[in-house]
Amino acid sequence: MRKEKIILGMSGGVDSSVAALLLQKEGYDVEGIFMKNWDDKHAICSAEDDYGDALSVAKKLDIPLHKIDYTKSYKDKVFQQFLDDHIDGFTPNPDVLCNKEIKFEVFQKYAKDLKAKKIATGHYANRKKVGSIHYLQKGNDLSKDQSYFLYQLGQKELENTIFPLGNILKNDVRKIAKENSLINHNKKDSTGICFIGERKYNDFVGQYIKTSKGDIISIDGEKLGTHNGHIYFTIGQRKGLGIGARFTSEDKPWYVVKKDIKNNIVFVAQGEDNPALFSKKIIVKNVNWISQKPKKYPIKFYAKVRYRDEDKECSVFYLEGNSYLVKFKSNQKAITPGQSIVFYDKNGICYGGGIISKRDIPFLGEKLDE
């Protein structure tokens, strides 16, 4: 009986390598794709080093590995958006956009070219089918779950996608890799944004965006210092403000609470529990519903406003177009425009998500309309 062919994204890391091994054991005819998205010797994800690891694993498992160069598409679709978001005052999340615009689009295309119906990745996530609808679900290892980064997928992408690591713990993945003598069994996981690498974030971004100095002002209206560009700051940021040595009655650290892009002002407040850091309502745009758009509102969800955040109970109200109002049950700290909010039910089913556009700051008199 002829084996079913499946195309697997292989990054050179331990996760996708073990995914290849598991798919083989399940009886699939596995072929790997290594995608070169960035060409920079200073990046964490050095393309040649990672390709060498992926090739070593492919040879050991006796599977073909196709190498494709998508650096231009990545820079046009993902990196340019990363820069645009900074200019607009947002804090970008390039990993989310990369999955939608590059990885899965490429996988689908290559699967078709290689006469395969199914694709697979090493993400810690699950797919669940109910009737004719495909759902994205959290991986069993909640400490490694990556469904947050996959919320922009739809039925077309999920229909023939397999996540071999969905039910496996990270520690067991490394154990499997070691038991099978895979070269990358103890390879360090990549963290942060890979194309920035070992360089300082501000130094890297400053190479591509022209900035100008502006004022750092307290929420009481006092000028506390100057900054080299609003792009270097994000909501909730404490370090790098250059005003930590000020003597005040509170003697507490300062935090970024707001950015005025038009006037190039960064507003700060003192104390990690300052009310200006907290919001209960946000506006969300560019929402993607994985299965179908809800028919009735408000609808209750459990949402993440950042990858490592805990799920927070909220209600979602439809506004207009593709904009929504999200009300949280309790105040949330340092919600950051530009980041993604992802919606789940109590069983870990991911219904979709969108980009945080604006947050209310009642303490500063900035309230969102009901």
So what's the pLDDT on residue 198? 61
So what's the pLDDT on residue 245? 54
So what's the pLDDT on residue 244? 63
pTM: 0.92
Q: Which two tokens stand for residue 113?
A: 């070219």
Q: What residue ranges of the chain have pLDDT lower than 70? A: 1-2, 39-47, 191-199, 244-250, 369-370
DSSP state of 42: T
So what's the pLDDT on residue 196? 64
Give the torsion sign (CA, 259, 265, 239, 254): negative
* Domains of the chain: residue spans and CATH: 5-179 (3.40.50.620), 211-270 (2.30.30.280), 275-364 (2.40.30.10)
Catalytic residue list: 98, 194
Predicted confidence (pLDDT) per residue in 215-254, tens digit: 999 999 999 999 999 999 999 999 989 886 555 556 789 9
Give residues with Cβ within 8 angstroms of 314, minimum separation 6.
Answer: 300, 301, 302, 303, 326, 327, 328, 329
Predicted confidence (pLDDT) per residue in 10-27, tens digit: 989 999 999 999 999 999
So what's the pLDDT on residue 36? 83
Q: CB of 147 within 8 A of CB of 342? A: yes
